């Protein structure tokens, strides 16, 4: 009997958390922790550190109204 042949390239499980986070942050606007959890997943911190490791300029600041939340964005390069 012939065994089925599977290759990883034939099956895609969708975008990775790092790709999802990159897509969200690439607009340059601030995004809350709550939004990122909803759009990327609870463990988006690993994806954030991967982006930083790849050289993406991810910034964090405290949410101005919500004491225990932060906001994140990706700085866009300034054109001179």
Dump pLDDT digits (tens) for 39-69.
999 888 899 999 999 999 999 998 777 778 8
Q: How far apart are CA 76 and CA 13, in angstroms?
A: 29
Q: How far apart are CA 45 and CA 24, in angstroms?
A: 14
Q: Global pTM?
A: 0.74
End-to-end CA distance of the chain: 66
């Amino acid at each position: 009997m012939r065994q089925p042949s599977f290759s990883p390239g034939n099956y895609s499980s969708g975008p990775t958390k790092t790709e999802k986070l990159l897509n969200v942050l690439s607009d340059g606007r601030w995004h809350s922790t709550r939004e990122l959890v909803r759009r990327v997943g609870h463990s988006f911190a690993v994806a954030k550190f991967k982006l930083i490791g790849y050289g993406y300029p991810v910034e964090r600041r405290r949410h101005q109204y919500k004491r225990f939340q932060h906001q994140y964005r990706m700085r866009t390069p300034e054109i001179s």
